Structure 1
Amino acid sequence: MSIFYNEKERAFKLRAKDTDYMLKVINGEYLGHVYYGRKVPDEDLSYLLRFDESPFTPEQNDRDRAVYLDTTPFEYPCFGIGDYREPAMMIMDSDGMSTCDLRYVSHKIYDGKPALDGMPATFATENSPAQTLEITMKDSHAEIEAVLVYSVFENLDVIARSVRFTNVGSKPVKLTRALSACVEFDTDKMDMITLNGSWARERWVERAPLHHGKQSVDSCKGESSHQSNPFVALCAHNADEDMGEVFGFNFVYSGNFFAQAEVTQHKKTRFVMGINPLDFEWLLDAGETFTAPEVVMVHSDEGIGKMSRTFHDLYRENLIRGEYKDKRRPILINNWEATYFNFNTEKLIDIAKEASKLGIEMLVMDDGWFGHRDSDNSSLGDWFVYEKKINGGLKHLVEEVNKLGMKFGIWFEPEMISPDSELYKAHPDWAIQIKGRPLTLCREQYVLDYSQKEVRDYVYSMMRDILDNANIEYIKWDMNRQLTEVGSNFLPKERQRELWHRYVLGVYDLMNRLTTDYPHILLENCSGGGARFDPAMLYYSPQIWCSDDTDAIERLKIQHGTSMCYPCSAMGAHVSDCPNHTVGRNTPFKTRGHVAMVGTFGYELDVTRIPQQDRDMIPAQIEEFKKYNPLVRTGDHYRIGNMFEDNTWDAWMFVAKDKSEALFEFVQVMGRPNMRSRRIMLKGLDPDAYYYEESEPDKLLSGAALMNAGINVAKIWGVDGISGDFSSKILHFVRR
């Protein structure tokens, strides 16, 4: 068992591998947070609540109830009863009052893990089982019930949390805040790690010590966003990759989110995470239920690296689904940076012919194949073939590519609509809008109202016509703008603020239909690059386009940050042309391959026009990727270098679960004068085993020596007149 209940003390203990999480019914009614951290043998640590200190519990001294409520570590805090810290829940009842007071009613414990209604969530498997605790809380005055759901993974240091709200009364009530998790920490001595950035530089790592007051990250763009990722880690000041206590939080949601750490007057920290309460409301009529998305909590007592590897294991086993869950992805070539909108059937076949000779396995036709689209100012929503460009039709093109032994993939942007489209002319009311206000254009497009099943059904019918017409085996699903003027022509006024969430549920519905009806298709998500790289998307697509910035050196930071909680097997990464189309930098073709090999691997260039010496490297590059991809896809990932601290080099490792082999990758970003070789300590090996590097099979070193003494990585010098800057090398270690 993973969940224990002490009837006498009315205390709960959740054991997730080496982690314990404790809570307790206080004073017969409130639910208090007791402990979260390394496992302990004790069943009850209620003394940590300090009930013998002032302010005393209300049953002993009711005059201090408000003071007590503002200091108690509540498991799921409400607003309006004397707790002035950040609440997890707020309501507006039928009398216009916002106070809520949840009290413990009952609980149940059962094996397994429930699905969430209409939303992605982690799941239990035979190899990674779970047990679940549901605690029912109720506000008798407002007649609203909240069920706190905790699922504990037995073999991982993971607890997943969500909440269900039900109106158990006869009058309507509105949720105005419905966060998914709150955790109370009895200290302020922690750092906060977040993943922030912008388009083409997503998920850069930022770390800062907590200070008095509130520090938060959020998105109000209708998606998880380029600017902030729904991930936060709170860690000890001395925590690094390999040591120290770390608490990681990741929100399994693709819309507006909110995560905040609040250091209170008593030097304690309250952390909350969930749907962004900004502009959020949800009307609950009598008997109706609202389910909040899931927060995944990971605890590590061995630094940031162990936290990351726990997230990776969880998502690979308990979130990603489908045919490609445990399978190498096809090596593809995408025509976007090769041609942009300037292509036709002949050009695509030319690329495919050359690519097939080199060992590339799939051609992906990107934006521009539909409607009358020759630039980004038309045709979104018109998902029928642009016959003038795809001369001979889609089926003919796909068959010609298949004859070359290659698979075929296609790009869609199903959530969007162009003003210059047949769909918009027929249904202008299908765009998200506020009557009487002008619509804001972004990338010459509007957003479809996915809260409406009729809209989703129509778009999906067009997609099905395309998919049923030809042998399509991959879809790149894109979303290139955020939401503005968020209003619906179909929702009543009392439900208009539900549109933010209903939109996301609509996206999930369509993705679920797609992956159910076409289980063989590999779905890759994209949102202007990495604006929707979140765990919810991994539930539908085993890979996500990491960033529109494909420059190998820029990708070092982007992929480092992404790996904080997302597995490398999910990172869409390609070898692109030089000078790079985003930053104009030239990097060696070899380095571009090594950096892309961290992720799904593919090509984003015109293979018919690149230099011959680059073209000649592709077959060996592909064979190298195939050889090492099982390690990348299933092994433990260790970050060794850190471009955020030293931008002259980077390094990382993938180690087999049984420690039998390891792949070490190194990038020399900038050479420095008067420096000898660099001493680098490896990680994750068996200290008692002996290893040889593949190029030197007769030279054995112990795992202990490789990790504690390290290896010497010599300065890389350029060849053929090319600078040694931006050069790379890989080493493959095998256990004897």
Structure 2
Amino acid sequence: MTWTLRMATTSYTVAVEPGGRWAELVAWGPHGVEEGPSPLKNLGDVHFITEADAAPIEYAPRGERPFTGADLEIDGDSWFTFEGATEADGVLRLAFADEVAGLRVVLCYRPEPGVDVLARWVEVTNTRDEPVRLSRIGSAGVCLPVGEPRLSFLHGEWSREFQLDHVTLPAGGFRIGSSYGVPGHNYAPWLSVDDTWGVSLAWSGSWEITAEVEPSGLTRVRAGMLGPVVVGPGETFTTPELALAYSTDGLARVWHAYDRSRSRPARKPVLYNSWEATGFEVDLDKQRELAEIAAGMGVELFVVDDGWFTGRHDDTGGLGDWYPESPDFGAFAEDVRAMGLEFGLWVEPESVSPKSRLYADHPDWVYRLPGREPTLIRNQLLLNLGLDEVYEFIVSTLDRLLTDHPISYLKWDMNRPATERPGELDDAHVRNYWRVLDHLRAKHPHVLVEGCAGGGGRTDLATTARTDVVWPSDNTAPLDRLKIQHGFLHMHAPHLMSSWVTDAPGVFDARPRSLKFRFVLAMAGVLGIGADLRHWSADEREEAAALITLYKDVRDVVHGGEAHLLGEDAIQYNGEDRVVVLAWNTGSLTGVPTVPGQSSRVKLQGLTGSYVDEDGRVYSAAHLVHVGLPFAWSQANDADLVVLRPVRSGP
């Protein structure tokens, strides 16, 4: 029994082996790749391992695949027997059962419409009359016909997220993951193999992705949440979805198309956030002054960050008591709106300060172990969002804020990982986090939500499907941020990437950059400003206003066009009627015109015909692709934005 699942330009063929013991991958690639002998099928004898250990298996319990790694592990081993298949509502379901262990496991496959992504997940039903503990519960496994894979992954730390790196794996295994209770800053739940096959996990809690070169010569990638999970009698547990992507010319654009297919069509305003200007000192007169300057520069949204609520004078108090500190806060919000600006607010709903009224009333709402003091991180504790009463408190709090004030933007932050939270509680917390975001979108559809977790600690596919933008990092320094954004854009689309212009010095690369460099960098995604505008000169404000106007003109291409990542120092966005190129100089200069030399060049991609720039220069596609778009870098000109329009032929 064989099934071929068709995506936009690719197909994924899966079959149940003749004995009905497991499902295995037959072929994955461009349409038609399945028409021929499978490149994955084991054709040799099996020695010292089981048949399943050598097969291109899709999902296996430990009893069936004891040596080269299983996807499902319980207390006691398990073996599967195929029960049958169903296809409905665009989902293929392959059902397997183990009557002895009391399990029914359904492998689910959903081709995503219009893109080259296949979603996979598993539904595990406990058919016994007592709970079953799943110590390892993967979402999927996939075997690839490559024996020495080049793995690309994103790693880092707080303020240095999304560092793109590569490793070639001649043998053995590779693992990335997080036990923080969020995807974390250290690794992103994303992996690519030879920039051809890719996986990305839609899970907002602890997770793992592994890759292993198996004795059969295949590379097997597995992904899933971290357990354990306890499934009660008669209950069904559904794993997080794992997205599988395939591309013959780079995976980034496949992931971008997938992000766009899951995003709601919402305009992303140019924002100003007051945090770096005022910190916790949210004096409303100073906030008004900043808002007036921002409005005069063409900003469309003013966001008040941390410090606006009762008891929040530093990071030791206030969290949980979500009422404005000033009685004039409502009038201030209306004043901002009267300036022509939308109004936004920072919140951190999952955390609580020990000095807050909420903690005094509900100390039992935080994660803690009996007889021990809970661990403070950033002087705060974490609420157990898995509790119904905590979920209801957060929903009612956000409903009140969004009803009482003219708020159209929420920055949802989370500034500490989970401690004293057993693995069994991870699932409930994550799914109630999703429920809150789903509630906001349903009840307050006009409100845009920015996802943040101390920077880029929670940017998984499940979060990006429920928010409008995400915050890649708290590090806004230009050269540091350039590397962060380069990595981020391999995983996610530009319309999800919130990026600010600030005056922050580099944490890792402190070389100063011009105001234009910082703006062009932030234009690569959703433009924001976080600097103290009161300290900018009149010339700087005028330059900023002109750059904001330019950004608004190309925003639709940046957010909706096909992005080509041209190394770390340039990005090309292909729109329907324009090509937008952003480029930055991060190295040495050519010395021109002081000494003989040539202009710097950026080679573009995916062009045909001819193009004209805004100065009337005409370039053939061959020139732009094979020679490159010229840039005259100098000390005063270290970044640029170029718009190219197709030359129309005919009358």
Give TM class, smaller chain. Answer: over 0.9
Worse-superposed segment, 471-480 or 583-592: 583-592
**2:100, 2:49 → 1: CA distance?**
18
* Structure 1 residues 203-352: aligned runs within 5 Å: 203-235=162-194, 246-276=196-226, 280-302=227-249, 304=250, 307-317=251-261, 319-321=262-264, 325=265, 327-352=266-291
* 1:108 shift after superposition: 1.1
**1:50, 1:369 → 2: CA distance?**
63
- For residues 98-146 of structure 1, the C-alpha deviation after alignment (integer angstroms, 9 at most, x for no partner) is 2011221111123x4xxxxxxxxxxxxxxxxxx3211111112112111
Worse-superposed segment, 589-598 or 532-541: 532-541
**2:480, 2:415 → 1: CA distance?**
21
**1:47, 1:426 → 2: CA distance?**
62
**Secondary structure of 2:428's match?**
helix
Q: Please say if residues 419 and 425 of structure 1, whose CA atoms lie closer than 8 Å, have aligned partners that are also in contact.
A: yes
**2:192, 2:65 → 1: CA distance?**
29
* 1:49 shift after superposition: 2.4
Distance 1:545 1:701, change over 3 A: same
Partner of 2:26: 34
Q: Please say if residues 577 and 610 of structure 1, whose CA atoms lie closer than 8 Å, have aligned partners that are also in contact.
A: no
* 1:185 shift after superposition: 2.0
Q: Please say if residues 11 and 33 of structure 2, whose CA atoms lie closer than 8 Å, have aligned partners that are also in contact.
A: no
**1:580, 1:270 → 2: CA distance?**
39
Q: Please say if residues 13 and 43 of structure 1, whose CA atoms lie closer than 8 Å, have aligned partners that are also in contact.
A: no
Q: Please say if residues 332 and 603 of structure 1, whose CA atoms lie closer than 8 Å, have aligned partners that are also in contact.
A: yes
Q: Which amino acid aligns with 1:465?
A: R
**Secondary structure of 2:28's match?**
strand
* TM, length-normalised to structure 1: 0.84
Instruction: Say which of 62, 65, 75 aligns to 2:58.
Output: 75
- For residues 349-373 of structure 1, the C-alpha deviation after alignment (integer angstroms, 9 at most, x for no partner) is 1111222222212211100111211
- For residues 607-664 of structure 1, the C-alpha deviation after alignment (integer angstroms, 9 at most, x for no partner) is 222222211212211110101101101101011123xxxxxxx1111011x4x32011
For this pair of structures, how many residues does the alignment match? 641
Q: Please say if residues 231 and 237 of structure 2, whose CA atoms lie closer than 8 Å, have aligned partners that are also in contact.
A: yes
| Structure 1, unpaired ranges of 5+ | 1-9, 56-63, 93-97, 113-130, 240-245, 488-496, 643-649
Distance 1:72 1:65, change over 3 A: farther
**Secondary structure of 2:403's match?**
helix
Partner of 1:505: 431
The yes-or-no answer on 1:426 pairing with 2:361 is yes
* Structure 1 residues 413-452: aligned runs within 5 Å: 413-452=348-387
**1:301, 1:424 → 2: CA distance?**
54
Q: Please say if residues 476 and 500 of structure 2, whose CA atoms lie closer than 8 Å, have aligned partners that are also in contact.
A: yes
* 1:310 shift after superposition: 1.1
The yes-or-no answer on 1:709 pairing with 2:627 is yes
Instruction: Say which of 359, 365, 374 aligns to 2:304.
Output: 365
- For residues 391-423 of structure 1, the C-alpha deviation after alignment (integer angstroms, 9 at most, x for no partner) is x43211111111211111111000001111111
**1:604, 1:426 → 2: CA distance?**
36
**Secondary structure of 1:457's match?**
helix
Q: Which amino acid aligns with 2:87?
A: I
Instruction: Say which of 9, 13, 36 aligns to 2:4.
Output: 13
C-alpha RMSD of matched pairs (Å): 1.9
- For residues 657-696 of structure 1, the C-alpha deviation after alignment (integer angstroms, 9 at most, x for no partner) is x4x32011111113246553223321121x2x2211111x
The yes-or-no answer on 1:564 pairing with 2:514 is no
* Structure 1 residues 85-234: aligned runs within 5 Å: 85-92=68-75, 98-110=76-88, 112=89, 131-234=90-193
**1:264, 1:50 → 2: CA distance?**
12
**1:353, 1:18 → 2: CA distance?**
50
Q: Which amino acid aligns with 1:106?
A: G
Q: Which amino acid aligns with 1:693?
A: D
* 1:438 shift after superposition: 2.4
Q: Please say if residues 347 and 410 of structure 2, whose CA atoms lie closer than 8 Å, have aligned partners that are also in contact.
A: yes
The yes-or-no answer on 1:676 pairing with 2:598 is yes
Distance 1:590 1:350, change over 3 A: same
Q: Which amino acid aligns with 1:185?
A: L
Distance 1:616 1:560, change over 3 A: same
**Secondary structure of 2:480's match?**
helix
Q: Please say if residues 24 and 46 of structure 1, whose CA atoms lie closer than 8 Å, have aligned partners that are also in contact.
A: no
Q: Please say if residues 201 and 461 of structure 2, whose CA atoms lie closer than 8 Å, have aligned partners that are also in contact.
A: yes
**2:563, 2:360 → 1: CA distance?**
50
Q: Which amino acid aligns with 1:40?
A: G
* Structure 1 residues 588-603: aligned runs within 5 Å: 588-603=514-529
Q: Please say if residues 412 and 477 of structure 1, whose CA atoms lie closer than 8 Å, have aligned partners that are also in contact.
A: yes
**2:370, 2:318 → 1: CA distance?**
23
The yes-or-no answer on 1:394 pairing with 2:329 is yes
Q: Please say if residues 93 and 107 of structure 2, whose CA atoms lie closer than 8 Å, have aligned partners that are also in contact.
A: yes
**Secondary structure of 1:499's match?**
helix
**2:507, 2:54 → 1: CA distance?**
54
Partner of 1:126: none
Distance 1:602 1:435, change over 3 A: same
**2:384, 2:590 → 1: CA distance?**
58
**2:439, 2:554 → 1: CA distance?**
34
The yes-or-no answer on 1:666 pairing with 2:583 is yes
The yes-or-no answer on 1:23 pairing with 2:14 is yes
Instruction: Say which of 41, 57, 64 aligns to 1:49.
Output: 41
* 1:268 shift after superposition: 2.1
**Secondary structure of 1:90's match?**
strand
* 1:21 shift after superposition: 1.8
* Structure 1 residues 409-488: aligned runs within 5 Å: 409-487=344-422
Distance 1:42 1:160, change over 3 A: closer
Q: Which amino acid aligns with 2:614?
A: E
Partner of 1:718: 635
Q: Which amino acid aligns with 1:142?
A: A
Instruction: Say which of 566, 574, 590 aligns to 1:655.
Output: 574
**1:485, 1:141 → 2: CA distance?**
35
* 1:80 shift after superposition: 2.3
Distance 1:171 1:372, change over 3 A: closer
Partner of 2:67: 84
**1:541, 1:550 → 2: CA distance?**
21
* 1:602 shift after superposition: 1.4
Partner of 1:618: 544
* 1:281 shift after superposition: 1.9
Distance 1:100 1:385, change over 3 A: same
Q: Please say if residues 455 and 474 of structure 2, whose CA atoms lie closer than 8 Å, have aligned partners that are also in contact.
A: yes
**1:107, 1:416 → 2: CA distance?**
44
**1:264, 1:582 → 2: CA distance?**
38
Partner of 1:125: none
* TM, length-normalised to structure 2: 0.95
Distance 1:405 1:454, change over 3 A: same
- For residues 672-727 of structure 1, the C-alpha deviation after alignment (integer angstroms, 9 at most, x for no partner) is 46553223321121x2x2211111x2x3222122212323323x2234xxxx5xx1
| Structure 2, unpaired ranges of 5+ | 592-596
